[in-house]
Amino acid sequence: MLKHGVNPNGQLSPGIAPNLCSVDGLSTSNGWTKASLTEFLEFLDTKQVRTVTLWFSNALQLFADSYTCPWFIPTLAEWAEKA
């Protein structure tokens, strides 16, 4: 999309799913680790993308299915605050 002229700051918002956390707390059920999330967000910085969209499989309707690893949201918040 960037190659075709999409404005990275406003018109592009990659979706990420903060799925449930593994028992050990090191990864989400869909494979995000703190390191991989940080690396992805740093990649977005290089492309001047400043927004992401969070996808929840249940639209946050059920609390038991709406939490993720304790590091996920703080990592996103730290990235967002850099802007």
Q: What is the pLDDT of residue 61?
A: 62
How many domains is the chain partitioned into structurally?
1
Q: What is the pLDDT of residue 2?
A: 87
Q: Tens-digit pLDDT profile for the chain (83 aa)?
A: 888 888 888 788 999 998 889 989 999 999 999 999 999 999 999 999 999 998 877 666 666 666 789 999 999 999 999 86
The parent domain of residue 38 ranges over 2-81
Q: What is the pLDDT of residue 43?
A: 95
Q: What is the pLDDT of residue 68?
A: 86
Q: What is the pLDDT of residue 56?
A: 79
State how far Cα 81 lies from the chain centre: 14
The helix or strand, by DSSP H or E, that contains position 16, with its residue range, turns out to be: strand 15-16
Neighbour-count burial of 63, counting CB atoms closer than 10 A to its CB (0-12 exposed, 13-18 middle, 19+ buried): exposed
